[in-house]
Chain A
Amino acid sequence: MAEIDQITQSILNQIDESGFKQEGAYNLRYNGYSLCHGNTEHITIKRKEDKQGIDVYISGEAKGEQVHIPVVVAASGMTDEVYNDFYIEDGAQVTIVAGCGIHNSGCNDSRHDGIHTFHVGKNANVRYEEKHYGEGEGTGARILNPVTKIIMDTNSVFTLDTAQIKGVDSTKRETEVVMGEDSRLFVIEKLMTHDQQSAVSNMDIHLNGAGGSAQITSRSVARGESRQVFHPKAIGNALCHAHIQCDSIIMDQAQVCSIPEIDAKHVDAAIIHEAAIGRINNEQLIKLNTFGLSDEAAEAVIIENFLN
């Protein structure tokens, strides 16, 4: 069993809520190499030969199994670009817990670009959790630029649950989903930025197969002088339903730009978008004050629950 140092363990605790263990199917990428990995009967992880990254094969026999593939970057000045491909067979039911944490105690920028592609088979059900987190006393920036591509076959279900907790100076997220017949997509995106951080999230959902449905929920809090830009786009190419909901709390001198885009290319495409940006509601603060909470405590409770 590989030895995990204290900094890495504390980052793992932040990005893998269920607790990372060297058991079952797992791969821990540390400063650009695989520190440890394990397979199960139904899940095989193979290192790529031609470039950095792994291929994860999940058999249709996998029912309710988990794969944990966290990434830790603890070296200042490191740029880690990694390609992970997931092949999920027809009928598989799996939870993939990813996530990346950067500890930068130096003056050079540390960066991780995770390029993930999911090939989701017929009737498969995948839950993908990804948490991003940054820490460290150094002046070097902590940068995360994830690219996620999801190809969904007939009647498959994909839940994309992403959260950027704190400490990431700059992030640019690109997500593309191509949906087949009767497939269902759920996206939950939670983001908190502070100080001078910037975050951009672009998402294109192509509803290509009849009967597809997509629910995209984005919640964010922007504090300090941070800046966020959201651009989710649902393209209805067939009979389908899609709902985009972007909600942001803006504080201090932050800036939030929300551009939900809906593009119907079929007469039976029903697509809705909602977007709201606003400061913390004063009535909510007063209500929590009547429970005996100070303004600061009330504000923290509102944000914590909003990002849930």
Chain B
Amino acid sequence: MLEVKNLIFHPLENGVEKSIIEDISFRVEDGEMLVITGPNGGGKSTLAKLLMGIEAPDSGSILMDGVDITNYSIAQRANAGIGFAFQQPPRFKGMTVRRLLSLAAGTELPENKCCDYLSSVGLCAREYLDREVDGTLSGGEMKRLEIATVLAKPHKLCIFDEPEAGIDLWSFSMLVKQFEQLHANKKESLILISHQERIIQMADRIMVVKNGRIEALDKKEQVMPDLMNEDTGCSCMNPAHKA
């Protein structure tokens, strides 16, 4: 179980203190799928980075199965069972897909295992295993590979930051199936940051983060109706303002 208590993150930007995360507390139960959604710039990705240790909070604590991991490095959190899929994964000149997957798994993966992970995200192993993870892969291919790197190892908690971004419709359906399967197995807790209705629909609970605060956190059935009726705040899109 993941427990987040009173997280605050106020980084300095050009010497000015910015309020990015304001006193956020929540839990993710074992096997639960929590989808975090909300407007762009609201603090979702920063929250994910705080959980993985990529950013350090100013105060608050993070506990994994009761162990305080707030001061753990990224690698220590990974070894404690947290997996992370980046919104914009980096490219590696000279590194093959096979090598990246093996590094992700923490062991040299046989070809059939690599094949399983790649096909689960819609990539053909024969075509990709020996390709380099460099600029020759498209943004969509990079995203699918990124998800495969998280699948390559069992975790206690997996965090996916906008897994759907840049993925075509066909691959998106496969991805949704993959998340459904992960969720059904209940072996891993899942945190997905997403704007996609199909992903939000899969959630056990939904957390809406806006202006660095939790605006809503409840079961899907409670939050979903409000999300669908959300006033965008944009006068040209809002029916109430249309004459």
Binding site for B on A (CB under 8 A): 219, 247, 281, 283-284, 286-295, 301-302, 305-308
Contacts and interface: CB of A to CB of B under 8 A. Distances in A.
Given A290-B52, A291-B106, A292-B106, A302 B78 contact: no
A291 B73 CA distance: 12
19 contacts: A219-B94, A247-B93, A283-B90, A286-B54, A287-B90, A288-B103, A289-B73, A289-B75, A289-B78, A290-B75, A291-B103, A291-B106, A292-B75, A292-B106, A293-B75, A302-B92, A302-B95, A305-B99, A306-B92
A281 B73 contact: no
Nearest to B153: A291
B94 A289 contact: no
A261 B59 CA distance: 54
B160 interface: no
A246 to B, nearest CB: 12
Contacts of B90: 281, 283-284, 286-287
Given A295-B75, A306-B94, 8 more contacts: A219-B93, A281-B90, A289-B73, A290-B83, A291-B104, A292-B78, A301-B95, A306-B93
Given A301-B103, A305-B99, A290 B92 contact: no
A111 B52 CA distance: 51
Interface string B59-101: 0000000000000011100110001101001101111100100
A301 B92 CA distance: 10
A290 B94 contact: no
Nearest to B149: A291
Nearest to B133: A305
Nearest to A282: B90
A287 B52 CA distance: 11
A305 B91 CA distance: 12
A305 B92 contact: yes
B186 to A, nearest CB: 23
Given A286-B74, A287-B86, A293 B103 contact: yes
A293 B95 CA distance: 16
Interface string B96-126: 1001000110100000000000000000000
A229 B84 CA distance: 39
A272 to B, nearest CB: 14
Contacts of A288: 103
A111 to B, nearest CB: 31
A197 B150 CA distance: 40
Nearest to A290: B84
B169 to A, nearest CB: 27
Contacts of B54: 286
Contacts of B52: 290
A247 to B, nearest CB: 6
A290 B78 contact: yes
A302 B104 CA distance: 14
A289 B95 CA distance: 16
A308 B79 CA distance: 27
Nearest to A298: B75
Nearest to B52: A290
A288 B93 CA distance: 14
A281 B78 CA distance: 20
Between A283, A302, A305, the greatest number of chain B beta carbons within 10 A of the residue's beta carbon is seen for: A305
Contacts of A219: 93-94
Nearest to B146: A287
Contacts of B83: 290
A301 B74 CA distance: 17
Contacts of B92: 284, 302, 305-306
B230 to A, nearest CB: 32
Nearest to A247: B93
Given A286-B54, A286-B74, A292 B79 contact: yes
Contacts of B93: 219, 247, 305-306
A215 B26 CA distance: 55
Across the A-B interface, the 10 shortest Cβ-Cβ residue pairs: A289-B74, A305-B95, A292-B78, A283-B90, A308-B94, A305-B94, A306-B94, A290-B84, A292-B79, A284-B90
A51 B206 CA distance: 81
A106 B78 CA distance: 47
A290 B99 contact: no
A288 to B, nearest CB: 7
Contacts of B73: 289
Contacts of B95: 301-302, 305-306
A294 B153 CA distance: 17
A284 B91 CA distance: 7
Contacts of A295: 75
